[in-house]
Amino acid sequence: MAQLLSHLSVALAPYLGRRRWHVAYSGGLDSRVLLHLVWLMRQRAFAAGESFPEVCAVHVNHQLQSGADAWAGQCQAICSQYNIPFECHRVTIQGSRQGIESLARTARYEVFEAVVEHDDAMLLAHHQDDQAETFLLRLMRGAGVAGLAAMPAARNLGRGELFRPMLNLSRAELEAYAEEHRLEWIEDPSNGNTQYRRNFLRHHVMPVLAERWPNYRNSIAAAAELQAEASELLGSYLSAEVKNITTDGALDLNALRGIEPIRQRALLRHFIFTQFGQRIDRAQSYELAEQFLASSGDSQPVFSLAGGITLRAFKGRLYCDESPANKTFDSGLVLNWDTGHACHIEGLGQLSAQAGGRFAPKGELTVRFRRGGERCRLAGHGHSKSLKKLLQEWGIPPWQRDRLPLIYCGDEIAAIADMAICEGYQLPDGEAGIQLQWVWSR
C-alpha cells in the first residue's frame, strides 16, 4: 500500500527540518505501522543522499500486564533491526479500574514531555478510529466545543511539538498495510476488556454505528474539525476580553460582575485555561461564579483545582496560585546572587537584572524572604516603615507577602523584588544602574 507511505511523507514533510523525531512505540498495530513507515522514509532519504531527522523510539512500560517487560524486549528487538535507538521508560500506575486509563495516559504524556527537546517532534500513531472514540467519550462526559474538538493533529509538547500524522487513516488501512508487509505486533489482552470505556465503545458501539452509517468515522472527524474551528474562534474572542480585564496576572472580578452570567462563566474558564492550560468543567464554572462573583468585595474565598492550583480573591481580583493552600513556604531560605545571572527560585519565580535601572548594589548580594519584623527606609523617604505595612499599602495579596524576594546587601534590605529600592541603593536620575525584574512562576 504505497499510498500510506505517500500519505505519511506528505503529512511529515513540514517536520523534515526538525532535529529529532521521537516515535511513541507501544508495540501495538498502530505504532508498529508508524515505526515501519518512518523507517521506510528514512531509508529512501538516505538512498537519495538526503538529510533526515534523527529517529528514536520511545516505549512506556506501564507495568500493568504480566507480559509488559517481555513486550518492551520485543519492541527493542524490532528497533535494533531498524537501527533505531530505543528508550524504555517504566512508570507506576495506581488507581481504580475506571480511572486507570486516564492515569496511564497522564503518565505517558509526562514521559513524552520529558524526552522532547527544543526543535524535536513526538510522533503518535493515533488514527481515525481513535479520533471517533475520543469524540464519543468526551460527548458522554458532556464536553463543550474544546473537548469535542477531540485530538488535534498537532500541538505544543514541552519544549517540542506533538504530531499525529495518521489521524486521517482508518484502523482497517493500517491492518491491511501490516498484513501486506508481514509486520508483527503485540496484542494487549486488556484491549478486549470492555470494563474500560474505550474498549466498550470499540467492541459494542462502533460496530453498530458502522452497520447504519458506514462512513461514521469521516462524519465524526468532520464534526471534530468544526468543533476545533469553533473553539479556536471562541478562544480568540475570550482571550481579547480576558486581556482587557487582567492586570499583572489577576482578573478583575468587578468587571466580570457587570456582564451576563454566560459570559462570566466563559471568561472564568478561559482565564484559568490561559494561566495554566487546565480546563474546568461546567459544574466548576458555576461554582466559581457563585464563590467569587456572588460574594462581597471584601471576602477572600479560596478554591482548589487539580494539580495544586489554588484560586484566590483579594481586593476584587482573582489570582491563580500554583502553591497548594495548605503548603507553607520556608521563609529561612537564603540564596547568594550574582546579578549577571538570573536567580531561579523553584516554585516561586525568577529574579533577574539588566542594565538601565537605578539600583546600585554594594558588596555581596543575597536573596531572602520575609520572616517578620523587617523594616526599611525607601529611597527618597524620610522615615523607615515596617515591611508588613509597606506590603499592605501596595496591595500585595497576603499569600504572596512571605514569598516576595528581598534583595539584601550584607544584612540590610537593599530592594524589595522589583517594586522598591531602599535608601542608599538608588542612583540619581541620569546615572545608569541595574533594573530588577521579578516574574512569578506560571
Q: Give the residue ranges of the annotated binding site for ATP.
A: 26-31
- Amino acid found at 56: C
Residues with Cβ within 8 Å of residue 88, at least 6 apart in sequence: 59, 60, 61, 72, 75, 76
| Nearest partner of 247 among 323, 315, 346, judged by Cα | 315
Q: Which residues are annotated as a binding site?
A: 26-31
Q: What is the DSSP letter of 167?
A: T
Chain centroid to CA 210: how far? 35
Q: What is the DSSP letter of 306?
A: G
100 phi and psi, to 5 degrees? -65, -35
Residue 153 grid cell: 493533529
Q: Extract long-range pairs of 172-181: CB within 8 Å, 24+ residues apart.
A: 173/1, 173/4, 173/127, 174/4, 174/29, 174/30, 174/33, 174/127, 175/29, 176/1, 177/1, 177/4, 177/33, 178/29, 178/32, 178/33, 180/1, 181/36
Query: Could you give the 3-state DSSP secondary structure of residue 86?
Result: strand
Cα gap 368→336, rounded to integer Å: 9
Given a contact cutoff of 8 angstroms between Cβ atoms, the answer to whether 39 and 82 are in contact is yes
Given a contact cutoff of 8 angstroms between Cβ atoms, the answer to whether 162 and 112 are in contact is yes
Cα gap 317→298, rounded to integer Å: 11
